Amino acid sequence: DTAVSQTPKYLVTQMGNDKSIKCEQNLGHDTMYWYKQDSKKFLKIMFSYNNKELIINETVPNRFSPKSPDKAHLNLHINSLELGDSAVYFCASTTGTAFRENTEAFFGQGTRLTVV
Amino acid sequence: GQNIDQPTEMTATEGAIVQINCTYQTSGFNGLFWYQQHAGEAPTFLSYNVLDGLEEKGRFSSFLSRSKGYSYLLLKELQMKDSASYLCAVRDRNYGGATNKLIFGTGTLLAVQP
């Protein structure tokens, strides 16, 4: 069974469209994330939810809207797609924080978004 | 603010030892992680350090010095399959007690040659 699964794996769409990426984890983790990895392979955090509550919201255009219907799911909706949104988007999850605890992140396989 | 630096690329020979360095600056340090990422795949966890010293795990070891803001990943007996990007990530606790914020470096692309 896949621990963190994202769909779709590939997404090609035209500028101006609206699209969604879904993520589900079956690890029982409390916290989920969206990361963006650009062409230079830099992995940058976008959002984090803990038990359906938004915890981290980096400087991301408001065209990006995360939604967490329950703690096992974190979806990402993108409005009015632009060329610069082309990247690989990774979903990840961790257990809740305990001081000095090893809370490794488990990543989904990524969604390669190409805006044309 | 936060800043993490790693070399962009490294090359090593099969069977050899390679050390990948990472320096960081963060006000709320709460652990350092190393991840491996093969091309086109997701990052996978390799090691975790929160106290100073060396953590060994098979062919991989990771070292941390909090006073110097420095870590390294040591890979021994290199194999061709070790060719990948190695990402250093620091956990920052200044985002409240309910979550981890993992801040990644830009990664080091390691090429293992025969």
On the question of pLDDT at A85 being above 90, the answer is: yes
- Can you tell me the mean pLDDT for A37-65? 86
Distance of CA A40 to the CA centre of its chain: 18
How high is the pLDDT of residue A36? Answer: 95
pLDDT, mean of residues A66-80? 94
- The b-or-e profile of A48-73 (16+ CB within 10 A means b, else e) is bbbeeeebbeeeeeeebebebeebbb
SS3 at position A84: helix
Q: Does B39 touch chain A (CB under 8 A)?
A: no
> With bands split at pLDDT 50, 70 and 90, how would you rate the model's confidence at A98?
low
Min Cα–Cα distance to chain B from A40, Å: 8
Q: What mean pLDDT comes out for the span B39-68?
A: 95
Q: Which residue of B has its CA nearest to A98?
A: B97
Q: How confident is the model at residue B60 (pLDDT cuts 50, 70, 90)?
A: very high
CB contact under 8 A, A43 and B50: no
* B104 interface with A at CB cutoff 8 Å: yes
| Residues B15, B20, B22: CA angle, nearest 5 degrees | 170
Answer whether B99 sits within 8 Å of A31, measured CB to CB: yes
| Burial per residue of B74-106, b for 16 or more beta-carbon CB atoms within 10 angstroms, e otherwise | bbeebeeebbbbbbbbbbbbebeeebbbbbbbb
CB contact residues (below 8 A), chain B span 71-90, against chain A: 85, 87
From chain A, the residues in CB contact with B87 under 8 A are: 43
The C-alpha R_g of chain B, in whole angstroms, comes to: 14
Nearest to B92 by CA among B24, B21, B10: B24
Burial of A74 (0-12, 13-18, 19+ CB in 10 A): buried
Residues 6 or more apart in contact with residue A59 via CB below 8 angstroms = none
Cβ within 8 Å of B, A 42-101 = 42-45, 48, 50-51, 53, 55-56, 90, 94, 96-97, 99-100
- The pLDDT value recorded for residue A51 is 80
Q: Taking the alpha carbons of A80, A83, A88, A90 in that order, is the dihedral positive or negative?
A: negative
- Higher-pLDDT residue of A52, B20: B20
Q: What end-to-end distance do the CA atoms of chain B give, in Å? A: 41
The CA distance from A72 to B50, in Å, is 28
> Mind telling me how many Å the CA of A26 is from chain B's nearest CA?
17
